[in-house]
Amino acid sequence: MNTTSTTSSPAVDVETLTKHFGDLTAVDGISFQVEEGDVFGFLGPNGAGKSTTIRMLTGVLRPDAGSARIAGYDIRTDTEAAKSEIGIVPEQFNAYPDLTAWKNLMLAGELYGVPRETRQNTGTELLRSFGLFERRHTPTSEYSKGMKQRLMLTMALLHDPAVLFLDEPITGLDVESQRLIRERIAELNQEGRTVFLTTHNIGEADRLCDNIAIINRGEIAAIDSPEALKQEIERTRAVEVSFSETIERELLAGITAVEGAEKRGDTFRLMTPDPDAVVKAVVTLAKEKGLTVLSLQTLGPSLEDAFTDLTEEDP
């Protein structure tokens, strides 16, 4: 990994990247940057364009328009240099099923021009750190999904890339593999590697990423830190209240700081930027009108709210 020559460029620099499949615009002129040393999450629902983007960024798929630079190298015009900086774990298992893990790993190393001795030494270290060394002579067709995913990570890391692209690295794995991969992602990042991962799991993005781009229908809906994304939807915070008496919605909608009031069964949901003021006003109102409050709670924003907010179908 050569970090000295790349300090001036972002790890990933994307400008108006576009991909069409027939009439479908899978990726619609997206632009963003990933800073060196970040764990960057590309979060979006199924079919949002996450894998298509990764495939363009890693030189697997040719963009119809726009450009992508990895550590300063244009993936279209400077492909070899860009690819040497990249490690890829694709969506689908890409090792040879009839070959052992060890053979697959050595082949991957050869492909990237890693010298034999380095291949063998680094390969051994990697298999150990991913808990596969004991099973290195087993054909990969006999591997579990979690083992396959761990093997793909070792294959992606053998040539010591500066930027790791992981397409849904954790989804659908057993708990032990999930834990191991999460820990290794954090370690690899601490060593200075930039990590670009896709996911449709909000909790995972929240937990792992420094910055998150939310992609929906080929477009970037938001891009920020998990904390900032949560704050962005502070305005949609709410207070939920129910009373033992039947009351008119308008009474609650009239409270200052309430920006919307919805009745859901016996409960009222009051949208507000200032939940504290609303809670106090509800208590005062109850006293004035002689009402009994059955339940009263504040609903804080979650990244899930932000995600739903930003990816909801247009009405």
- Which residues contribute to the site for ligand ATP (CB under 6 A)? 21, 24, 26, 44, 46-52, 200
Is the distance from CB of 172 to CB of 133 less than 8 angstroms? Answer: no
Distance CA 184, CA 205 (A): 15
Q: What are the tokens at 162? A: 């500066």
- What does 269 bind: Mg ion, ligand ATP, none (CB cut-off 5 to 8 Å by kind)? none
H helix intervals, the chain: 50-57, 79-84, 101-111, 116-129, 145-157, 175-190, 202-208, 226-232, 249-253, 275-289, 303-311
- Other Cβ atoms closer than 10 A to 287: 10
* Shortest distance in whole angstroms from residue 57 CB to ligand ATP: 12
Residues 6+ apart with CB under 8 A from 243: 286, 291, 292, 293, 294
* Shortest distance in whole angstroms from residue 98 CB to Mg ion: 26
Q: Please identify which residue in 27, 39, 41, 51 interacts with Mg ion, judged by CB under 5 A.
A: 51
- What does 59 bind: Mg ion, ligand ATP, none (CB cut-off 5 to 8 Å by kind)? none
- What does 111 bind: Mg ion, ligand ATP, none (CB cut-off 5 to 8 Å by kind)? none
* Shortest distance in whole angstroms from residue 15 CB to ligand ATP: 19
C-beta of 51 vs 177, nearer to Mg ion: 51
* Shortest distance in whole angstroms from residue 91 CB to Mg ion: 5
Contacts 24+ apart (CB under 8 A), 187-191: 188/157, 188/164, 189/37, 189/39, 191/1
- What does 26 bind: ligand ATP, Mg ion, none (CB cut-off 5 to 8 Å by kind)? ligand ATP
C-beta of 50 vs 83, nearer to ligand ATP: 50
- What does 49 bind: Mg ion, ligand ATP, none (CB cut-off 5 to 8 Å by kind)? ligand ATP
- What does 207 bind: ligand ATP, Mg ion, none (CB cut-off 5 to 8 Å by kind)? none
C-beta of 50 vs 230, nearer to Mg ion: 50
* Shortest distance in whole angstroms from residue 172 CB to ligand ATP: 11
Q: Closest Cα to residue 62, out of 23, 32, 18?
A: 18
- Ramachandran angles phi, psi of 7, nearest 5°: -60, -25
C-beta of 50 vs 148, nearer to ligand ATP: 50
Burial class (CB in 10 A: 0-12, 13-18, 19+), 164: buried
Q: What are the tokens at 221? A: 């809906």
C-beta of 1 vs 56, nearer to ligand ATP: 56
C-beta of 53 vs 129, nearer to Mg ion: 53
CA 128 remoteness from chain centre = 27
- What does 52 bind: Mg ion, ligand ATP, none (CB cut-off 5 to 8 Å by kind)? ligand ATP
Query: Under the rule (CB under 5 A), what is the footprint of Mg ion?
Result: 50-51
